[in-house]
Amino acid sequence: MTEVVLAAEHVSKVFGGVTALRDASFELRRGEILGLIGPNGAGKTTLINTITGVDPPTTGRILFHGKDLYGGGSGESRGLMRGVSSVLTKTRAYRIGQMGIARTWQVVKPFQNMSVRENVTVGALFGTGNRGSVSAAAAKADEVLEFVGLSRVGDHAADALTIADRKRLELAKALAMEPEVLLLDEVMAGLNLVEIEGAMDLVRRVRESGVSVMIIEHVMKAIMGVSDRVFVMDAGANIAEGKPAEVINNPLVIEAYLGKRYAQKVLDEGIDPAAIVGIEPEIHA
């Protein structure tokens, strides 16, 4: 079995009285594309936030190459010590990006008053490459823009892009960091069918370049087509894992998406679950 690059072990995240993640675990292996699906509110984005240090986990461990990103320093301590440790972990968040974990944001966060090329240059300047000179970073940025197909709008202001290009810019910013692990948070939402095909192709090419990818997506057709394995979450916990075809026929998964009553109906009447789950993106949009 290939090496595990990134893993979460029994991760929980509590916001006040809301438990967004309860005991979630997964393993991402080198060079694979791992799909992450689940109904809205399942905790998919929260999981990415705990990995990238935006919201460090309340309990549990995030392992990158077997090393705990938070050194066990978060969570259980209380009062003043908890405040101190949260300050320290928050300060450390930038190191996670420098270590080689890059992400995109579901709600895109372009640097609006910078050009597209400058946006990507930021990724190349910092990230794992951590270049000292702006011109070297700009050269890398041009390479990445070419790779994702944004060269033609390199000089445009980032806020002048279409949705499809904004999603691509998110990807380009993350790729310019030259990461080992790429966490994609709904890069295909809001795209049309042709654009989705393009994005799927892009994700495959990213994997071929040696990056391990975890991808959150509501577009079932895309995630089933592109993932090696799929991992399903519901209400903050993982409920199933396996090859795309296995997962989609899992009664627990069907139930999570459709509720108990309809899930029973589907199973009784022998309707193809893929067709039903495939409707979901339009509902989501």
The answer to whether 112 contacts another protein (rule: CB under 8 A) is yes
Binders of another protein among 168-197, rule CB under 8 A? Answer: 173, 177, 194
Nearest distance in Å: CB 277, another protein: 29
**Cα–Cα dist 17/222, whole Å:** 35
- H helical segments located in 100-183: 116-125, 134-148, 163-176
Strand partners, 269: none
Among 83, 84, 91, 139, binds another protein (CB under 8 A): 91
Contacts of 91 (CB under 8 A, 6+ apart): none
- CB closer to another protein, 118 vs 255: 118
- CB closer to another protein, 214 vs 232: 214
**Cα–Cα dist 9/26, whole Å:** 7
Among 14, 63, 114, 276, binds another protein (CB under 8 A): 114
Q: Kindly state the tokens that stand for 212.
A: 């391990």
Q: Kindly state the tokens that stand for 53.
A: 């240090």
Q: Which residue has the tokens 């072990």?
A: 9
What is the per-residue binding string for another protein in 203-242, x denoting contact by CB under 8 A?
A: ----------------------------------------
The answer to whether 77 contacts another protein (rule: CB under 8 A) is no
Nearest distance in Å: CB 267, another protein: 41
Distances, alpha carbon 187 to alpha carbons 104, 150, 172, in Å: 8, 15, 11
The answer to whether 115 contacts another protein (rule: CB under 8 A) is yes
Q: Kindly state the tokens that stand for 279.
A: 């409707």
- CB closer to another protein, 29 vs 131: 131
Nearest distance in Å: CB 231, another protein: 22
> Is residue 217 within 8 Å of 64, Cβ to Cβ?
no
DSSP string spanning 34-47?
Answer: EEEE-STTSSHHHH
The answer to whether 88 contacts another protein (rule: CB under 8 A) is no
Residues in contact with another protein by CB under 8 A are 52-54, 91, 93-98, 102-103, 105, 109-115, 118, 121-123, 125-128, 130-134, 137, 152-153, 155-157, 160-162, 164-165, 173, 177, 194
